[in-house]
Amino acid sequence: MIAPRLLLRIGVAATFMWPGTSTYADECKEITCTSNDSSLLLASQVLALPSGPVTPGSLQVYDYGTAPYCGGDLPDAPGGVECTLMSVFCRDKAGPGPAVWVLRRAINPDTPYVRVGYTCYPNLVPGKLDLAAIANVFHRTPLAAAQLKMQPPGGQTLVTLPNFFQVSWPEAGFQPEELDTLNPADWFGMHITLKPELNSVTYTFGDGTSIGPTLSLGGPYPSGDITKTYEAAGDYQVKADVVYKGYVSVDGSDWIEIPGTVDIAGTPQTISVKTAKNSLYLP
C-alpha cells in the first residue's frame, strides 16, 4: 500500500458561507454552498473503502488522501488551506473532526484524484488508519483458549457410556463478547473498541472423531448436544478449538466487522476410559 501524499497548496483564503445557505453562491466558486449529507461518510463507510487492486488481478491500486472541507477551496490533491469551518462543521455529526474531503485516485497507471465524500473521521483513511491496521491489532489480541467440562466429572469414564461436553472460558484472554478498549493515544485520540465473537467451535475426542465446526457450546447431562461414546478403553486427549471473528467500534460507532478470523487452539485434557466387569456377590 502506497501511503497518501500530503501536498500543501498555498493560496489566498477565499470568502465562504456556512453550508446550508444559498446566498452569495458566486463566492463559493465551484463548491455548492449547501451541505449534501448523502456524501457524508460514517466510520463504517470510510473503513469499507477499497484499498486493494482496482480490478481483480490488476496491478492498479488505489491511493487516498484528504483535503480540508473549506468553502471556496476546491483541492484536487491532498492538502489545501485549512479553515475554521472544517472544525465547527463536525460539532453535530459523528466523529471527532475536523471535516475533510476523502480523495482517491488510481495508480499504475495514475489517474486524477476524485472526491469520494467528506467525513468527520479524518484519520480513518486507507493507508493511515484502516481496517487492515485494525485487523493486525485484533489478530494479536490475546483471545481465550476454550477449556472443556465433562460429565461424568473427574476425567474418568466407562466404555459405551455417553459423555457430555461443555465449553468453559478461563480468566486469561478475551472471551466472546468481552470488550477490549485500546489506548486513544495510540489511535489519533480516537476511542477504538474491539469485540471478539464466536465464529465456530470444533471438538476433537482423541480417537479420530470430532464434532464441528459448530456454534454449540455443548452442555451438561441430559440436555447437552455435544456427546461422545468411546468403544475402547484407553487415554484420550480431548479439546475444543475456537475460531473468532471480530468487530470494531470507533468513537461509539456501530459495530464494523473486521476482515479475517483468528484460530485459537483449545487446551488439551486427558480422559481415561475404563472397562467394567459385572460380578455377582453373595450377600
pLDDT tens per residue across all 283 residues of the chain:
333 333 322 222 333 333 333 322 233 233 333 334 568 888 888 888 887 788 888 888 888 888 888 865 556 667 766 777 787 888 888 888 889 889 899 888 888 888 889 898 888 888 777 888 899 999 999 999 999 999 999 999 999 999 999 999 999 999 999 999 999 888 888 889 999 999 999 999 999 999 999 999 999 999 999 999 999 999 999 999 999 999 999 888 788 899 899 999 999 999 999 997 766 667 6
Residue 210 belongs to a domain = yes
Number of domains in the chain: 2
Residue 5 belongs to a domain = no
Residue 7 belongs to a domain = no
261 and 154 together in one domain = yes
Provide the pairing of β-strand 114-119 with 100-107: antiparallel
Domain range enclosing 236:
134-274
Provide φ and ψ at 18, rounded to 5°. -60, 135
Extract the C-alpha cell encoding 255.
459495530
Which CATH number is 236's domain given? 2.60.40.10
105 and 138 together in one domain = no
Q: Which of 128, 158, 173 is the last residue of a domain?
A: 128
Residue 280 belongs to a domain = no
145 and 218 together in one domain = yes
pLDDT of residue 173: 95
pLDDT of residue 89: 83
Q: Where are the alpha helices (DSSP H) in the chain?
A: 43-47, 85-88, 131-139
pLDDT of residue 38: 60
223 and 256 together in one domain = yes
| Cα–Cα nearest to 166, from 144, 190, 150 | 150
Q: Is the dihedral of CA 108, 112, 117, 119 positive or negative?
A: positive
Extract the C-alpha cell encoding 233.
478403553
Q: Which of 106, 128, 150 is the last residue of a domain?
A: 128
pLDDT of residue 276: 75
Q: ∠ CA(246), CA(252), CA(257), 5° rounding?
A: 20
